Structure 1
Amino acid sequence: MPERNIEFGKYGARGIKGHEAAARQLDALAGFVVTPITARRGLLARLHYLTRTDHARAAAREAGLTVTDRTLRAWLEGGRSPSARNLARIETAYRTVRRHNVARYLLARLNREGRGTRVEFHPLNQSQVDRPRQRPIGYRTVNVRHWDRVVEAWVTDDLEALDQAWVSDVVVDLGSEWGQYEYVTNIGFAA
């Protein structure tokens, strides 16, 4: 059984950790607001999402957005603009609340009543590696039937738990050469 890569990129290979690519794909499936928070439209979209119900306000406070209702109202009306620090808090709270809200739907979509979802592994980029050191690594797919731990770690934004869940629940299913797919250029879901 292969071990984890210790000196990735030593000879010029390029890629990202598989769990990071999976998190990007889950973020894309979650459907975050695309307009940047620095634009008025992006700020208003996030604030409306975080303040439309009492439940959303409570979740935003739990996620770290601890400003008064008066300040929120001033931001929404355009009377004041949030500081850079508060913009970061709003973005963090928005992503946390959005991940929590879409987790159940996303889990059902990925598990598909036990049928699972096909995951595509695009191998790391070896174009900068000298010919004698290059290894033949091909494109691979695997059908993942249990996404619970992966989605749970993604929702809590715990990268260490996501890495553990990704390797133990997904990558190991590739067989004895799963270590070749610890780093990838991209991960795709058929969801």
Structure 2
Amino acid sequence: MPERTIDFGKYGAQGIKGFEAVARQLDALADFIASPVTTRRGLLARLHYLTRTSRARAAAREAGLTVTDRTLKAWLAGTRNPTQRNLTRIDTAYRAVRRQNVARYLLARLNREGRGTRVEIHPLNQSGVRPPHQRVVEFRTLNIRRWGAIVEAWAAGNDQALDDAWIEQIVDLGSQWGQYEYVTNVGFAA
């Protein structure tokens, strides 16, 4: 079995870690608010999402948004504006809470009662690699039936656990799995 890549890009290959591509796709499926937090509409949408229930408020505080209720009311009323640092905290807290809220739903959709979801793996970009150093890599598909560890790590924002869960799944590609640790894209729909 191949080992993990140590010196990626040494010969000019381009790509991202597979787990990062999976996280991007899961983020797209989570359907985050499209308006940026810097706009009034985006800020209000995030604040309403984070403050509409006591459970959401507790999750927002746990995710790092620790301001008083008076400050939140002033932001919602528009009498005060959050600082850039607080805007970052609001967006980070919103994404963390949204991930936690949709994780169970996404898991059910991706597992599809044991049938799993077909994943398309687009190999790394070797256009900058000289021909003697190029590998033969091709587009691959894989049906993942157990998404629990991947979705749990994504919802928690734990990159190391997500990487480990992703590697555990792509080992099913056989002896070539190491060629797909770095990819240009990973695509799936739920």
**Corresponding residue for residue 103 of structure 1:** 103
Give the structure-2-normalised TM-score. 0.98
**Corresponding residue for residue 177 of structure 1:** 176
- Residues in 1 aligned to 2:14 and 2:131: alpha-carbon distance in whole angstroms: 15
- Listed one character per residue, the Cα deviations across residues 34-67 of structure 1 (whole Å, up to 9, x for unaligned) are 1111111110110010011111111111111111
- Listed one character per residue, the Cα deviations across residues 61-87 of structure 1 (whole Å, up to 9, x for unaligned) are 111111111100100111000011111
Q: Runs of 4 or more off by more than 4 Å in structure 1?
A: none
Give the structure-1-normalised TM-score. 0.98
DSSP 3-state at the match of 1:121: strand
Superposition RMSD in Å:
0.7
- Residues in 2 aligned to 1:190 and 1:92: alpha-carbon distance in whole angstroms: 25
- Residues in 2 aligned to 1:174 and 1:5: alpha-carbon distance in whole angstroms: 16
Q: Which amino acid aligns with 1:25?
A: Q
- Listed one character per residue, the Cα deviations across residues 120-141 of structure 1 (whole Å, up to 9, x for unaligned) are 0000000000011111100000
DSSP 3-state at the match of 2:80: coil
Matches within 5 A, 1:1-191: 1-168=1-168, 170-191=169-190
How many residue pairs get aligned? The number is 190
- Residues in 1 aligned to 2:150 and 2:189: alpha-carbon distance in whole angstroms: 16
Q: Which amino acid aligns with 2:185?
A: N
DSSP 3-state at the match of 1:32: coil
DSSP 3-state at the match of 1:64: coil
Task: Give unmatched runs, 5+ long, in structure 1.
Answer: none
CA displacement at 1:190 relative to structure 2: 3.2
Q: Which amino acid aligns with 1:70?
A: R
